Structure 1
Amino acid sequence: MAQNAVGRLFRSQNSSSLRQSIGSFTQTRNVSRNAVPTFTPTSSPELDQTLNRFREELFIPFGLGQQQRRLMFRQKYADRLEQEPVTANLGEEEFLLRPMDPQSRPTKNEAIEAISLMKNTTDWNNLVSLLAGLRMSNRLIKASRMEWIVRKAAEANALGVVLECAKQVERTGLRLNEVGFVQRLFFELHRKAQAAEFEGPEVAKALSIATQLVGLMERPGHVQHDVVKDPKRRPFVIGTLLELSAARALSEFGGKDQDGNVRLYSQRLLGSWSLGNFNSETTEWVAVDKMLQENIPIYNGMKLALQVHGIVNERAVAPGLKNRLNELNQLISNQVKNAPEKVQQKPTVGLVQAQLLYQG
């Protein structure tokens, strides 16, 4: 019926009647399913232009009703639409319908290219709108690409923007229930603190982000109901929280476990050990490197925790921390020693982390 209505609409020969009919038609279909995301100015004219193209050619059309998109994307209506411009209301915004080739719409790969143009936090603040627009346009980014986005955000000191995307999960679709993605996030928080030598405001900021991420994992949209697959139960999450909490205790609170979190995370880490990635039989380097990236924050977290006042004498945690620390030290040492020659010549991320660990 709707398609027949569109056909009748464009068979009308009277221009005035055509305008009235189209106007009446669009007014019945003019409510956007979601507010169309907007972008703020960036540091790059190229990025501004790219983001505007996504909004004009993808997000706004998908904010319209199905019949209005049909008017825009079907070639048989192009001439009439050119002759008789039609506007549609999207909330408080008016949008002029115009003929578009559906094959020319921006793609997910172009979205990745746009993200690669983001250089500072001002640019990265547009990530929420970009992901929200892609989601409403049914352009879902793969988990592996999301890990890449986290790495790029970390380089621009914009992990707080990723946290904001997670807070707006219903808009962005950025969920904290996949182990690989969450591991990348926490590893980058570890590196953020490491770059500051585990001292000062960068440690507090990294800890704040990590704590908020774990809190979000308890909320709808992020909950992983399979215990084995639940990221927040994994040692790499708890170990990073321990590392950052212990580092803050040492650098800000005179070595005191001010809020009790060092003790708490120590207990939780020991209780989660069976879910960790500690397979000494693994020899394939890609898997070993991933293991190093998971385990070095854990190792460093236990090492720092044992320097916090009271922890080394805490019977409930000290023996367990020392035993696990020795086990993990042996595993990491063997993995570094057995690294392939080509990896030693051009160290991978995990090996670099291990080298930094032992240098410290």
Structure 2
Amino acid sequence: MAQSAVGRILRSQRSNPLRISIGTSSSQTRSYASRSIPTFTPTSSPELDEKLNRIREELFVPFGLPLRQRNLMFKTKLADRLDEEQYTTAIGKDDEEFQLRPMHPLTRPTMKEAFETISLMKNTQDWKNIIPFLSGLKLSKRVVKDDRWEWIIRHATEANALGIMLEAAKQVDRTGFKLSSVGVVRRYYFELHRWAAKNQFSEPTVSKAFGFAKQAAELMEWPEHVVRDPDVDPKRRPFVIGTLLELSAARALNQFDGKDEGGLVATYANRLQGVWSLVDTSKEAPDWPTADLRLQENVPILNGINLALQIKEIAGHKTIGSWLKQEKKKLGGSIQSLTSKAPENVKEKPTIGYQQTVLLRGK
């Protein structure tokens, strides 16, 4: 009889692994080291620290726990147990102790709150948290849409964190950040251009930006980023090659006394010629957003041509030099026409394409 009773007790315990033994202890620790749950480093803002901690504890941690423990927190009937007894679990790479507590699904941080948190990241110290933050969103099955990736990249520029975003792309399995969308890649390369332009295409910014641009181009060959359809493959777009031409030419002028060291400038100029049919050099646009987007693509290309023609080896080349001079006129005329038709409100509060056009024209 005694053996039968013991058998029933053991079977009961195996059938309900969430069961807490009330009669033997007022608390219970269940060890589960979920090493995918991100941790954050201190930031420059107490408000940002507080928001990161809330999102971690109320979104990332629950989704990083086994389903049984998550149910214990979010299912009302099970969560009531947490009011009676403490239940802790080990999380993260350091086996941090986390006490489970009742949570309501409707109180979970939203994606709006997630982006508000990112907007509080103001410097590279803060942006060191973006990779664990993105990994937490991916862990929590939160999807970042392309327009939001573009938004994140713009904010990274202001904090001198484009290199960190490149690292996020290298850790795509963890972060979900892919260089496979034309819009996202356009934004990344245009922000490299803006970063270099802001620093007047001087060193060390130009070399860093050029290094990032080359690495991004290499990443687009990775299986995780590659696009098989050539019609929507971002690495074939002229704005990618044009930005590489621009940055390589600026680097040659700064570091190598205007010599095309290694023939990189000539290489990118030839590649640009190969995709020139994709460059829109028309002088009209159906609306200003379309025109401004075209400026964002074409202004770095035109500046790349201008810088390349300052290199004697390129300007004096019979084929590529004369071709660049010829297309420079067409592209310059298109950009001038588009900017001259900018609405008054754009002139008063410049959009980024228009802003870069004015900046480089006045240089």
1:182 aligns with 2:185: yes
Partner of 2:168 in structure 1? 165
Distance in 2 (CA, whole Å) between partners of 1:356 and 1:13 is 70
Separation in 2 of the partners of 1:225 and 1:40? 38
Which secondary structure does the structure 1 equivalent of 2:286 belong to?
coil
Cα distance in 2, alignment partners of residues 46 and 232 from structure 1: 39
Change (3 A) 1:281 1:130: same
Q: What one-letter code is carried by the residue in structure 1 that aligns with 2:177?
A: L
Cα distance, 1:316 vs structure 2? 3.8
**Residue 241 (structure 1) aligns with:** 244
Residues 15 and 186 of structure 1: CA distance in aligned 2, closer, same or farther (over 3 Å): same
Which residue among 286, 290, 294 is the counterpart of 1:291? 294
Letter in structure 1 aligned against 2:318? R
- Identify the residue that residue 73 of structure 1 maps to in structure 2: 74
Question: Is 1:205 matched up with 2:208?
Answer: yes
Q: Does 1:118 align with 2:121?
A: yes
Deviations 1:129-154 (Å, cap 9, x if unpaired)?
10000000011122111111111111
Q: Which residue number in structure 2 is paired with residue 37 of structure 1? A: 38
Aligned mate of 1:196, from 192, 195, 199: 199
Question: Post-superposition shift, 1:9?
Answer: 6.4
- Residue 218 of structure 1 deviates from its aligned partner by 0.8
Task: Give the aligned partner of residue 46 of structure 1.
Answer: 47
Partners of 1:15 and 1:84 within 8 A in 2: no
> Which moved further from structure 2: 62-71 or 315-324?
315-324
Q: Offset at 1:5?
A: 8.3
Q: Which residue of 2 aligns with 1:104?
A: 107
User: Number of matched residues?
Assistant: 350
Residue 217 of structure 1 contacts residue 223 of structure 1 at CA under 8 Å; is this kept in 2? yes
Q: Which one of 24, 28, 31 corresponds to residue 16 of structure 1?
A: 24
1:74 maps to amino acid: K
Aligned match for 2:142, one of 139, 142, 145: 139
Shift of 1:17: 8.5
Deviates more, 1:189-198 or 1:343-352: 343-352
Match of 1:60 in 2: 61
Distance, in Å, in 2 between the alignment partners of 1:326 and 1:188 is: 25
Amino acid at match of 2:119: S
Residues 255, 15 of structure 1: CA spacing in aligned structure 2 closer, same or farther, 3 A cutoff?
A: same
Structure 1 spans left out of the alignment, 5+ residues: none
Distance in 1, matches of 2:329 and 2:143, equals 43
Percent sequence identity is 51
Q: CA deviation at 1:118?
A: 0.8
Q: Which amino acid aligns with 2:89?
A: A
Structure 2 residues not aligned, in runs of 5+: 1-11
Cα distance in 2 between the residues matched to 1:209 and 1:358: 25
Compared with structure 1, are the counterparts of its residues 12 and 343 closer, same or farther at alpha carbon in structure 2 (3 Å cutoff)?
closer
CA 1:330–1:5 in structure 2 vs 1: closer, same or farther (change >3 Å)? farther
SS in 2 for 1:185: helix
Residues 111-169 of structure 1, C-alpha deviations (whole Å, 9 max, x = no match): 11111111111001100010000000011122111111111111111111111111111
Alignment partner of 1:128 out of 123, 126, 131: 131
1:257 matched to 2:260? The reply is: yes
1:82–1:260 CA distance, 2 compared to 1 (3 A): same
- Normalising by the residue count of structure 2, what TM-score does the alignment of the two structures yield? 0.90
In structure 2, the CA distance between the partners of 1:357 and 1:131, relative to structure 1 (3 Å rule), is same
The one-letter code sitting in structure 2 at the alignment partner of 1:201 is: P
Of residues 225-234 and 261-270 in structure 1, the stretch that sits farther from structure 2 once superposed is: 225-234
The answer (yes or no) to whether the contact 1:278–1:291 under 8 Å persists in 2 is no
